[in-house]
Chains A and B, each alone.
Chain A
């Protein structure tokens, strides 16, 4: 299963997300500060994956 890491633009902490949410148009919820935002609004995204 492919994953990515999103860094919350509000608290700058990162958490792990299923790839299905990367372009689903749904807001993520930061587990640290409850901020809701779209994946493209992440402060950083790590979407490296194995082939």
Chain B
């Protein structure tokens, strides 16, 4: 038995290093967190997303493992589908080493700290890489062996929703970003990318007329992925950032296609190695995306597959697009990024939240410790300038809980004079946002005005709230019933 196979099997017992499987072992005994579907499902016929849609309507957000999916050939797949991994803040907290009780504002702060705690990756041999336990090249490297999911009715087809790894020519750092790959055949597919660094890298290769090596990673520990979502500067090695979030170095192995010139995550579930063909474009989309709308059909770059590798017993990971799994995946990183940025620029931020009502991307609620007028607008401007595609920034006082939307909207209703406190920022470029909303942004100062006489919020005196303990004063349930 090869070392890779032994480690892959050992990972079945789920000792270190961290992987998607080792993470699932932590939650699989709790039915609120983990459920399975054993019957055969056809992910092309919406079986998977119908199950997930029902759970979402019921307000239940377990990670779900579909044990027996069909692949894109319509045959039984050997890879179970795992989806909804990030659908609760509590699971995201655990994935980065926080207790579930600290899934609120502490989680964004944790992200802000972890971004700076990089851990350099370690390189292991292919024999020590579980992801190389099974290697397919040439005609056998067939993306259609995967149980890729078609999510929504207008989607063009099945989509691989996980992350792509790339490197700029001549550089030694890696960028990792979530992308969508549409496997139009077993060996090639169009893909869309939406982050500036990855776009810059792929354009650099294309400008040289050279094929760009890329790796599609279909499954890893959730902490690995959460580490890839941060707005890090050009030049940062995101394998190192991911290691900080994983709290152990990411293990890398030489790729099958390019050897030591391009390293792949050794503990991933499935890896597709491929090359972007310079100058070639194909049709992709529509696709139901984060905004719960469809991205429009468009032309996109083409990747040709060179190899597919996977660990023994590999899981195929999917993101339940446009739902909490997808929203939290990016929103917590943005909360951390805004918190960090505002603390560095202004120093008065208390908490930051990206609410589900704006899909975790388009609105931020920021609470500040305000000492003078103008600070709220400054905070809103800084946030909008720092985070792409942020449409609305609502800034409140520190006594408003930004994780309680009812409190935030109370402040908007009763502390905002629209003429004075709402600013429209016009004619910004929409960046890579593929939606049709436009290029304007809004800042709402919902802090209590301090430069004019203004009412305060009602409250029972805090000392009396402390004095009257409900469990001592309230009669036992049932007493008083007629």
Chain A residues within 8 Å of B, Cβ to Cβ? 1-3, 15-18, 20-21, 24, 26-29, 31-32, 50
Contact = CB atoms under 8 A, between A and B. Distances in A.
28 contacts: A1-B296, A1-B430, A1-B433, A1-B434, A1-B435, A3-B296, A3-B436, A15-B154, A15-B286, A15-B297, A16-B286, A16-B294, A16-B296, A17-B297, A17-B298, A18-B296, A20-B298, A20-B299, A21-B297, A21-B299, A24-B299, A26-B283, A26-B299, A28-B297, A29-B297, A31-B155, A31-B156, A31-B157
A44 to B, nearest CB: 16
A21 B286 contact: no
B295 to A, nearest CB: 8
B436 A2 contact: yes
Interface string B262-303: 000000000000000000000100100000001011110000
Given A15-B297, A20-B298, A24-B299, A29 B436 contact: no
Contact of A21 (B155, B298, B436): B298
A20 B297 CA distance: 10
Contacts of B283: 26-29
Contacts of A21: 297-299
Mostly helix, strand, loop or mixed at chain B's interface?
A: loop
B435 A16 contact: no
Contacts of B299: 20-21, 24, 26
Most buried by B among A1, A20, A26: A1
Given A1-B296, A1-B434, A29-B283, 16 more contacts: A1-B433, A1-B436, A15-B154, A15-B294, A16-B297, A17-B296, A20-B298, A21-B298, A24-B299, A27-B283, A28-B283, A28-B297, A31-B154, A31-B155, A32-B154, A50-B438
A16 B296 CA distance: 5
A15 B154 CA distance: 7
A16 B435 CA distance: 11
A27 B157 CA distance: 17
A21 B281 CA distance: 12
Contacts of A28: 283, 297
Contacts of B286: 15-16, 31
B163 to A, nearest CB: 24
The 4 closest A-B pairs by CB, nearest first: A17-B297, A18-B298, A16-B296, A18-B296
A20 to B, nearest CB: 7
Nearest to B434: A1
A42 to B, nearest CB: 12
A35 B298 CA distance: 16
Contacts of A31: 154-157, 286, 297
Interface string B392-430: 000000000000000000000000000000000000001
Contacts of A24: 299
Nearest to B157: A31
A24 B281 CA distance: 12
A6 B248 CA distance: 50
B221 to A, nearest CB: 33
